[in-house]
Amino acid sequence: MSANLSIRHRVAGQLACVVSFLLVTAVLFVSPLSAGKAYAAETDLETWTEVAEEMSSILNDAWEIYQSGDVKAAKARVDDAYYGYYEALGFEKTVMAHISGGRAADVEYQFSFIKRAMEEGDSDGAKASIDTLCAMLLEDGKTLDGGSASPLFALLGSLAIILREGLEAILVLAAIIAYLVKSGNAQHTRTVYIGSVIALAVSVLLAVALTALSAANGANQEIIEGATALVAVLVLFYTSNWMFSKADSRAWKSYIEGKVTTSITKGAIFGLASAAFLAVFREGAETILFYSALLAGSDAASTNMVWLGLGIGLVALVVVFVLIRFLSIKLPIKPFFIASSVLMFILCLSFTGNGIKELQEGGVIQATPIAGVPTIDILGVFPVAETLIPQLVVLAVTVATIIYQVRKWNKGNQGTQGVSGHTQKGEEI
């Protein structure tokens, strides 16, 4: 009876932590949001079509500067259109919320293609990319203006943002918590929750800092997000590989027997907590800036719908966490560990692509287009060589790791069967 009561208290405590975590997420959003409204109020542009037209004028100005022979100034003018309008006014984030993340990625890469063509002296390529970009911007502006007055439009956009940005983080968090509980280390879940809350607080500070610094250097956000994503790849790969190595029942039994007195190692806990921290931190600041842009252009009715969408999305994330947390307990060890590892391997691929894309937007890495490759934003797949090649490397290393572990399991199982057969034969004699 007391054991059941203890379990119920532990479960209630974990649910309370998750709900509190998500509520704190919503509350902390409020502080940086006013900055976005203030910035938007400083402009005379009232519709997204007007923003697109202004950006087109700047891009054509960049073309004229390029024709005069000043490549550096022309590229700087292209950056003015991107950082000063597409990002600062929330055009990018509104497209991601109301059209698609893939569309926003395709538009963003056009900026990179223009600058690369200018650097290489490819006048035809630069002009073609400018014309393509201007057409895409005007098309998106008209699309957004056609639905932005609707409160339902604001609700769906808000819901899409929190689900899109929060799902990756909640999947990582839920998988780690479920693993700790299933492995008999539930006492360490608190460390993971603390790491997530710290990540949330740091995200708020980062969002405020990025808002303050955006006028001085618009590339700050992309560089920080890109670097964070790539660090997260290393941590997630280590964590997923470690989990996969324990999926074999014999390996898990050996691990448990070796940790009866010492429980899980400090290094493993640090790795799990770091994975949760990076997953939350990577999405946190960007999500706050998303909502800042969304609220900046909303009237009173639409603002209420934005908050309603956020609330519905947070409830949905709680449901996802609960399903993973409690359904996983009923799964056998091997399927659970394999599923968790595969999930983290997939996130490694996504984080690799998105991290490099952010660095490209920050001007750290160039973009080389590859024809025929579709944009799959949710998986971090983009039609450029600089993202695809590292993803293929990660995929190859992942496959090699899986093959190695499976062979190791099979070899161990054969040895166990051999010993078992020898014992049985001795007993018959």
Closest among 134, 103, 170 to 325, alpha carbons compared: 170
User: Taking residues 45-74, what's their average pLDDT?
Assistant: 93
Q: Which pLDDT value is given to residue 423?
A: 47
Given a cut of 80, is residue 317 above it in pLDDT?
Answer: yes
Q: Which pLDDT value is given to residue 348?
A: 87
Given a cut of 80, is residue 1 above it in pLDDT?
Answer: no
- Upper half-sphere CA count for residue 370 (Cβ side, 13 Å): 12
Q: How confident is the model at residue 262 (pLDDT cuts 50, 70, 90)?
A: very low
Given a cut of 80, is residue 414 above it in pLDDT?
Answer: no
Higher per-residue confidence, 420 vs 77: 77
* Cα angle, residue 125 at apex, residues 120 and 128 outer, rounded to 5°: 150
Tokens matching residue 302: 């639409």
Residue 360: how many CB atoms within 10 A of its CB?
A: 24
Q: Which pLDDT value is given to residue 98?
A: 77
Q: How confident is the model at residue 8 (pLDDT cuts 50, 70, 90)?
A: very low
Q: What is the mean pLDDT of the chain?
A: 75
Given a cut of 50, is residue 25 above it in pLDDT?
Answer: no
Tokens matching residue 317: 């994330």
Alpha helices in 297-384 (DSSP H): 300-327, 333-361
Higher per-residue confidence, 220 vs 61: 61
Q: Which pLDDT value is given to residue 38?
A: 37
Percentage of the chain with pLDDT > 90? 22
Given a cut of 60, is residue 89 above it in pLDDT?
Answer: yes
Separation CA 317–CA 312 (nearest Å): 9
Collect all residues with Cβ–Cβ distance below 8 Å to 389 and sequence separation of at least 6. none
Q: How confident is the model at residue 256 (pLDDT cuts 50, 70, 90)?
A: very low
